[in-house]
Amino acid sequence: MSTEPAVQTVALNQLRLSPKNTRQRRDPEAIESMAASILHHGLLQNLIVEPATNEPGVFEVLAGGTRLVALQRLQSEGKVPADHPVRVLVETNGQAIEASAAENLVRTRLAPADEFDAFKALADAGKSRDEIAQHFGVARIVVDRSLKLANVSPQLFQIFREGGMELDQLRALALTDDHELQHQAWFGVKHDWERMEHNIRSRITSRDVRASSAVAQFVGIEAYEAAGGAVRRDLFDERNTWLCDRQLLESLAMDRLEAKAQALRDEGWSWVEAHLSLDYSELNAYPKGFPDDLAETRPLPETDQRKLAEARARIAEIEAIDVDEIDDPAREAALNGELDDLQELVDDLESRQEQALTWPTHVMERSGCLVRIDHFRGQMLVEYARLQPGQKIATDGKVAGTPDKASKGADAGKRAALSRAMEDRLHMHHRAALRDALTNDHGLALELLLTHLLTALLDPGSTSQRVFAIRLDNPHRTDTHGKSVELADVVSSPASQAVDAKLKALKSKLPKKAADIQAWVATKSVDELHELLALVAAATLDPTKDQARALAQLTKLDMREFWKPDAEHYLNHVPKSLAAEAVAEVHGKAAGEKVAAMKKNEAIAEAAKLLAGSGWLPKPLRGPGYKLAKPGTAAKAAQNKAKAPAAPAKQKPVTAPAKKKPAAKKAPAKQPAKKPKKSKTKA
């Protein structure tokens, strides 16, 4: 019988990894966690080693390589000495590979769900994350990730525990702490493939902007966060970061672009437009009026020239270093980080050098500039000496043709437009008002639902064998109750609140059990059934922007009763030029020019004051009843409307609007006689 080898101690600096060690690849996270464990608990399990063949006193580690690397890391950080004693078991009987394989393969660990629960139990008991990390001997990031996963909706976490969900799917759901949004991402789909990790991730971040996008790089995450913007970071993949407030991001970007645009106007260019984005076809709509060789390049300021030269020299030094000669991974990482920062500085200075141009006066008087964001590098670009759409250079060198969208006055050349995010926001207000209108127009609700059902029935793709093949979602709830929306003005709008109140009232009346609903419905009159049908139609209404405009015509919707151009939710999120245009429409050109000349914060405050109570609407919300005969009449019309006597009790039958219209806004008299409408009194 062979004698069992005894455990002994060996100095840390006498140990090295054996080429026979089975585990060839080590997880950096596992090394970090092991180092934390050793520092807190000590080395709980000895290493298995064998004497080195040609180096007396040196031992090669057969099993326990991760522990050795963790100890070496602690030594490099000065947390343990080089001669730190390490308990080892010396193998001398030729069983080296078997010993290594046995330790690496014969292991058990808690199920992931149980691990996450264990971390959460300590957190619920009041332990800090650092204390939990020390208790389990793991790195802090492991605790952060485990608690993030344990915070997923209990219903979804149970599905994971029972094997109905993969870990990567749970990680995708953990991108949000909003349990309702998690449920929508998991349960609100028809097919299993829609629950794949990347599909879940896409649904949760659908309203966000990737940090790698051009506009996010242009603004910078630090500046965005300093302005109060929320950031969604993926704890499981540091490459994935999203900016949650698109409106704020685009507003910050437009502020920078407009500042540059104003500087160019001050230089003497006849017009300047700032754009968040311009694709190839949009850019080509502005033809080049004059060649670039007419411009002279201005040298950078001396300080910038010195920075550029120093950065280039340091880049050359770093690139000359032989990577193979760098033993310390931390130093290599630091050099790579420095190289990235230097290259970013060089790119910025070179871009500024390219844009530092002096143009002849006659070019500036006859053409203009486009200020935009480079989609590839996320930097500001200026397109000089451009003509407006519809213009060209005549043979005599003068500009010929009339701009397709000419603009005059203080805002000439800005051609600012609502961002896509603001258009979506206004569309949500439009949808909310339409839903409210539909709850009061039972006949129209019935028409729309029947149209939907008949269209689905006649669609050759409808092959379901069920009695009914209609699937109901609740986009009203998605618009107003999901934390991910983060649009308080939509949630608190009069229309959303009205629909909410009716849905809550209905819910309080419904039987507690689904099986009892049919019997409850059977007790209702035809009028009550129409009211219920209208409410269901309203909650499920989800029109596109074009459909919403058509429905607004049909319902004679007046959005002035549901939306106001305040500073917090509208004016702060659009270019200053659009605020000035709005003021000009209401109070005249002089008032608009005055606002345009102010600094942005002052301009927004002044515009909010001048637009308050005016009834002004942005173009996406204007309906058939909206009309400004001439600048300055909207505010007066709003005052007259407030003083107007109440409308007569009897009106010609019309398709019901969301709110009662003033007498001056009567709908056309021709309506189908077969559809008398009920009283429009609000619930």
Give buried/exposed letters for 364-373 (b at 16+ CB in 10 A, else e).
Answer: bebbbbbbbb
DSSP 291: -
Q: What global pTM score does this model have?
A: 0.47
- 3-state SS record for 20-84: CCCCCCCCHHHHHHHHHHHHHHCCCCCEEEEECCCCCCCEEEEECHHHHHHHHHHHHCCCCCCCC
* CA 207/CA 205 separation, integer angstroms: 6
β-bridge partners, 372: 381
**Running DSSP on this structure, what letter comes out for residue 623?**
-
Q: Is residue 371 part of a domain?
A: yes
Angle at 653 between CA 650 and CA 654, to 5 degrees: 120
For residue 410, count other CB atoms closer than 10 A to its CB: 18
- From 82, 105, 128, the end of a domain falls on 105
Q: Give me the number of domains the chain comprises.
A: 3
Q: In the β-sheet with 271-274, what is the strand arrangement from edge to edge?
A: 271-274, 368-373, 380-386
The residue among 86, 105, 124 that closes a domain is 105
Q: What is the CATH number of the domain that holds 69?
A: 3.90.1530.30
Same domain, 517 and 618: yes
pLDDT (0 to 100) of residue 225: 92
What is the Cα 72 distance to its own chain's centre?
42
Residue 166 · residue 197 · CB < 8 Å: yes
> Quick check: is 228 in a domain?
no
User: Residue 294 has what DSSP assignment?
Assistant: G
Answer yes or no: is 549 within a domain.
Answer: yes
Residue 234 counted as domain residue: no
Within a domain: 191: no
User: Are residues 399 and 451 part of one domain?
Assistant: no
Closest to 548 in 3D by CA, of 372, 426, 407, 676: 426
Distance CA 603, CA 576 (A): 7
pLDDT per residue as tens digits for the range 352-396: 776 667 888 888 988 999 999 988 888 888 999 999 888 888 877
User: Which pLDDT belongs to residue 242?
Assistant: 93
Which CA distances in Å does 107 have to 48, 71, 104, 204, 282? 16, 21, 7, 36, 61
- Whether 88 and 55 share a structural domain: yes
| Residues 591, 452 share a domain | yes
Q: Which domain holds residue 383?
A: 267-411
CB distance 33 to 104 below 8 Å: no
Q: Residue 28: how many CA atoms within 13 Å on its side-chain side?
A: 3
Do 378 and 484 lie in one domain? The reply is no
The reply to whether 425 falls in a domain is no
Q: How far is CA 401 from CA 291, 367, 392, 394, in A?
A: 19, 12, 6, 9
- Token readout for 224 is 């965005």
3-state secondary structure of 452: helix
Residues 6+ apart with CB under 8 A from 276: 215, 250, 253, 254, 257, 372, 373, 419
Q: Which regions of the chain are under pLDDT 50?
A: 1-2, 96-98, 100-102, 104-108, 406-414, 456-470, 483-485, 629, 647-683
Residue 450 burial (10 A CB sphere; 0-12, 13-18, 19+): exposed
